[in-house]
């Protein structure tokens, strides 16, 4: 196992509990700093609660990358992607795991313990943790243009426009006053 990213956070619901525990053990032994956000047993629980706990650790900077496990990986990825600042990739193959780091700057990976086994999960996560962001993404070419960003641009443009109209209008008044006064 390679070691580029050091700080990891993992979480699961009851369905992903055993897979998550196996990965926590594996990464801890491999020398990663691992935060385990639960769940702590295979008793039925709500996956969005654990997805949110994990997202908070990424957004606070306590962890660089996150791993979410549930039955399918679908619910966890949906829940995580509702959180601002989170780009969670739902994938079950090595190629997608590498590509989503390279091209989408994904900060979380989600998969299903009812879909893949531990050996496949290990290979997928290894690829995810060690892939490099490609230059285009690093320079923002593929960055998502969120609704919030669009609104900010609109607000900024409106302020500039109102300012310009104000300046033009004022200078016209000034010119009129000057011509009346005769200067
Ligand atoms: C739990 O039974 C299951 O619904 C959950 O782990 C997950 O697969 C949801 O997406």
Which pLDDT value is given to residue 13?
Answer: 98
127 lines ligand 1 (CB under 6 A): no
- Look up 178 and say whether it is catalytic: no
Residue 102 neighbours by CB under 8 Å, 6+ apart = 131, 132, 133, 134, 137
If pLDDT is split at 50, 70 and 90, which confidence band does 159 have?
confident
Q: Give the alpha-carbon dihedral of 26, 30, 33, 38, to 10 degrees.
A: 0
pLDDT score recorded for residue 162: 78
175 Cα to the center of ligand 1, angstroms: 71
pLDDT digits (tens, 9 = 90+) for 97-146: 999 999 999 999 999 999 999 999 999 999 999 998 886 666 666 665 54
The 10s digit of each residue's pLDDT in 33-81 is 999 999 999 999 999 999 999 999 999 999 999 999 999 999 999 999 9
Nearest CA to ligand 1 atom 10: 75
Residue to probe by mutation, ligand 1, list 38, 75, 82, most atoms within 8 Å of CB: 75
For the sheet with 88-90, list strands across it: 33-36, 7-12, 65-70, 108-112, 88-90
Kindly state the tokens that stand for 92: 């079950």
User: What Å distances lie between residue 67 and 98, 122, 153, 167, 168, CA to CA?
Assistant: 14, 11, 33, 54, 56
Q: 15: number of CA atoms within 13 Å, CB side? A: 19
The reply to whether the predicted model has a pTM over 0.85 is no
168: number of Cβ within 10 Å: 9
């Amino acid at each position: 196992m390679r070691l580029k990213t050091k700080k990891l956070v993992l979480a699961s619901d009851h369905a992903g509990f055993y897979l998550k525990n196996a990965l926590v053990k594996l990464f801890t032994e491999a020398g990663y700093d691992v935060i385990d956000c639960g769940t702590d047993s295979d008793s039925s629980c709500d996956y969005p609660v654990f997805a949110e706990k994990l997202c908070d650790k990424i957004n606070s900077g306590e962890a660089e990358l996150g791993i979410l496990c549930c039955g399918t990986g679908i619910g966890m990825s949906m829940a995580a992607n509702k959180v601002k600042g989170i780009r969670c990739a739902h994938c079950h193959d090595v190629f997608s795991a590498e590509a989503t780091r390279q091209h989408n700057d994904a900060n979380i990976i989600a998969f299903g313990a009812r879909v893949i086994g531990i050996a496949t999960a290990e290979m997928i996560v290894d690829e995810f943790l060690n892939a490099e962001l490609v230059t285009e993404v690093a320079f923002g070419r593929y960055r998502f243009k969120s609704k919030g960003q669009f609104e900010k641009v609109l607000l900024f443009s409106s302020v500039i426009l109102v300012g310009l109209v104000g300046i033009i209008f004022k200078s016209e008044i000034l010119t009129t006053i000057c011509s009346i006064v005769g200067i």
